[in-house]
Amino acid sequence: MVVGRPDTDQPVGLTAPPDPPAARSRRRRLRLGDALVVVGYLSLAILLTGDQWRRPERLFHQAGDQMLFEWMLARAARAVTAGENPLHSTALNAPDGVNLMANTSVLGLGLPLTPITLLLGSQAAFLVAVVACLAGTATAWYALLARRLVRSRAAAALGGLFCGFAPGMVSQAGAHLHMAAQFLVPVILALVFRPATDRVRRDGVLLGLAVAYQVFLGEEVLVFVALAAGVVAGAYALADRAAARRLAPVVLRRLGVGALVAGALLAYPLWFQFRGPGHYAGMPFFAQGYRLDVASFTAGARQSVAGDDRHSRLLAPNATEQTSFFGPFLPLLALLVVVRLWRRPLVRALAVCGLLFALLSLGTTIVVNRNDTGLPGPYRLVAGVPLLDLVVPARFALVCVPVLGVLLALALDRLRHRSARTWAPWAGAVAAALLPLVPTPIRTVPVVPVPAFVADGSWRAYVPPGRTLVPVPPVTGAAKSPATFWSARTGLAFHAPGGYFIGPRSADDPTAHWGAPDRPTSLLLRRAAETGQVPPVGAAERRQAVADLRHWRAAVLVQAGSFPGDPVRTTVDALVGPGRDVAGAYVWDVRPLVG
């Protein structure tokens, strides 16, 4: 349970005497300090995204994921301006469409960012979203720490800085907006664990609204919040039974009101997610394979000043899932803080929570420095639990980030009135632990630009209403999708088959599948792209291509970066006849073939 400071919730009388000048001056200094902290967080977030601000022809290192989230932001803007269903779209995977509620639609970011998306485009909206997620998460934790847990603004600022910009947060922010958008987490926790016992109904309503909004930011984060809050509450209750008995009825009433409000708001969206058109079951990849190495907890992340790119890649599933990587000194410092502050029930609860979630992130079997020991991991106990079986184990370590941030703030706050002889060693230890974790700008990679034929609208002369533009190859699986990228950058101006999303394997099989259901022609072209070899093409393949084009309602096929002798281009020529060069692309007008 979060215990507030004794002066936090005292009401101010209507007839209270005016504040003395010293008190007003102190409040102004505090407000100025708060503003400087927030400006610092924003400046750091802008610095980390700076390479793409300066070079818009590049994307963050997980380019396919950025393409997806740019499309989601563009789709949210389209839903606002055109009054379309925000939970479903046929702009991708034509003609069937995509269940956006069953994907990471981030409507909680896309809807408020609509003006930026419309004015500056999907790339600018994505970068603003990354800045807002990092700086917003840091600011929200700073506010919670300063109001509820510590008196030192410096301690709160450092704790918020770590919560928003820890290695795991930066690694997720470059690709996964739904995991980086954690600015409502402190709000939810503050409402659940508010120490005062009044205003239960109001707090419950606010809690329900916050939970509902978090669903439209990222459901996975909400699952982690619920689990972590339960662990912290249980551990705190064991450490301070008297406080638990006093506060439990109030907390339960708040939760009840919050559940009613959130349930009413989310009933239809959740039905649509699990039973609406395009819903699916399971995951299209082996989630349990995404686990952390024990050695990753003391290693340096790829996006840290002391990080080792090669070594860090060996200790995590990929560069985006480097969710631990706390360096060699921070875990030791955290252990020391827990030992020194063990008498505080909150510290005990945080220690239990952090340790449990760190162990869960190791997966079903423990790997130590790339060696699978065969020892069972705690995740094995929950791997079959509904919802948890869909969670990537490596992401459990993200819960350790706020745990460490709060512990750091509590430790520094305790030193605020100590002598320099006592304070200096602790300050040195904190600096030694955090300096190696200073984040570096998120890395970028070049990307093939949207061809002028698509960007300037020349395609409109070929695509009548009700027909689609087919990027070549119309990829299946988790490969980068030109359909997704071109659609995002043009504001969903056209409909296209394929795309980068999760959907059912087929109309009769709801098993989760990357992208659109496989069509023979899309598989043929993907094979040509991946092998660099032109596959055999005969009459049967040509007939199948026409059938697939009719299914897609295709009007024109477009390939960017094409050149004579390209295996994909040669394959399409063999299937539908020769195309022609246009501005930045090679196109095939297939309207005569499909009728």
Mean pLDDT over the full length of the chain: 92
> What confidence category does residue 507 fall into, taking pLDDT thresholds of 50, 70 and 90?
confident
Q: Which two tokens stand for residue 352?
A: 């239990």
Burial annotation 484-515 (CB, 10 A radius, 16+ → b, else e): bbbbbbbbbbbbbbbbbbbbbbeeeeeebbbb
CB 318 within 8 A of CB 392: no
Q: Render 62-117 in DSSP notation, one character per residue.
A: SHHHHHHHHHHHHHHHHHHHH---TTEESSSSTTT-EEGGGTT--HHHHTTTHHHH
Find out whether 174 and 61 touch, Cβ atoms under 8 Å. yes
Q: How confident is the model at residue 14 (pLDDT cuts 50, 70, 90)?
A: very low
213 pLDDT higher than 70: yes
The pLDDT tens digits of the residues spanning 360-383 come to 999 999 999 999 999 999 999 998
For the residues of 8-48, what is the DSSP string, one character each? TTPPPPTTPPPPPHHHHHHHHHHHHHHHHHHHHHHHHHHHH
pLDDT digits (tens, 9 = 90+) for 293-334: 999 999 999 999 998 888 888 899 888 999 999 999 999 999
Task: Kindly state the tokens that stand for 314.
Answer: 């060996």
The answer, yes or no, to whether residue 18 has pLDDT greater than 70, is: no
Predicted confidence at residue 237, as pLDDT, reads 96
pLDDT-derived band at 10 (thresholds 50, 70, 90) equals very low
- pLDDT of 9 > 50? The answer is no
Q: Where are the domains of the chain?
A: 22-55+121-437, 452-594
Residue 13 above 50 pLDDT?
no
> Which pLDDT band, with edges at 50, 70 and 90, does 467 fall under?
very high
In angstroms, how far is CA 475 from the centroid of its own chain? 24
pLDDT of residue 419: 64
Who wins on pLDDT, 14 or 250?
250
How many Cβ atoms from other residues are within 10 Å of residue 181's Cβ? Answer: 26
Rounded-to-integer distance, Cα 131 and Cα 528, Å: 39
Q: What is the pTM of this model?
A: 0.93
